[in-house]
Amino acid sequence: MTLTLDLPEELAFRLNALLPEEERKHFALSAIAEALSAQEKDAVACIAGVEEALQDIEAGRTFSLEEEKARWQHQKAELLTKSGVIER
């Protein structure tokens, strides 16, 4: 497969400045492989997070926005106290 890319001018300038022409193909392949790998890992982690949340729903572990905001008010007070914004 051949891939042709239009690079923004600034990126093309940096590429020309930093990388000899004979190394560019190897560099591009490594960069694409690394980016795909990162994307796959992110997708796996995202799916696992959502799956866990779906199990929460099935088990009835959900909370209303009002409950969540009330919980936050307690946490916020603690956060401000710990940080010294509010004196103990």
Partner 1 sequence: MRHPESKDEQPLNYALRFTERARRDIDAETVYIAETSSPEIAIVWREGLYDTVASLAILPRRCPLAREQFRCEVRQILYRRPGSRFAHRILFTFSGEEAVSSDAPTVILLHVRHSASRPLTKLQARAIESQT
Residues near partner 1 (CB under 8 A): 38, 43, 45-47, 49-50, 52-54, 56-57, 61-65, 68-69, 71-72, 75-76, 79-80, 82-83, 85
Residue 78: which region, alpha, beta or left (left: phi > 0; alpha: psi -120 to 50)? alpha
Query: Of 8 and 20, which has the nearer Cβ to partner 1?
Result: 8
Least CB distance to partner 1 at residue 3 (A): 20
Pairwise CA distance, residues 30 & 33, whole Å: 5
Helix, coil or strand: residue 17: helix
Query: Of 23 and 82, which has the nearer Cβ to partner 1?
Result: 82
